[in-house]
Amino acid sequence: MIETPRLILRDWREEDLEPFAALNADPEVMRHFPSTLSRAESDALAARYQSHIDQHGFGRWAIERREDGAFLGHSGPMTMSPPIPLSPGAEMGWRLARAAWGRGYATEASKAAMDFCFEHIGLEQIVAFTSTTNLPSQAVMARLGMTRRADLDFDHPNVPEGQILRRHLVWSQDAR
Ligand SMILES: CC(C)(COP(=O)(O)OP(=O)(O)OC[C@H]1O[C@@H](n2cnc3c(N)ncnc32)[C@H](O)[C@@H]1OP(=O)(O)O)[C@@H](O)C(=O)NCCC(=O)NCCS
Look at residue 176 and tell me whether its pLDDT is greater than 80.
Answer: no
> Pocket of ligand 1, candidates 33, 74, 137: which has the most ligand atoms within 8 Å of its Cβ, to mutate?
137
pLDDT band at 34 (very low <50, low <70, confident <90, very high): confident
Pairing of β 167-174 and β 125-131: antiparallel
Q: What is the pLDDT of residues 117-158, one digit of tens each?
A: 999 999 999 999 999 999 999 999 999 999 999 999 999 999
Q: Enter the pTM of the model.
A: 0.96
**Atom 43, ligand 1: residue with shortest CA distance:** 95
Measured from the CB, is residue 71 less than 6 Å from ligand 1?
no
Distance CA 170, CA 85 (A): 11
DSSP category for residue 33 = S
Phi then psi for 149, rounded to 5 degrees? -125, 75
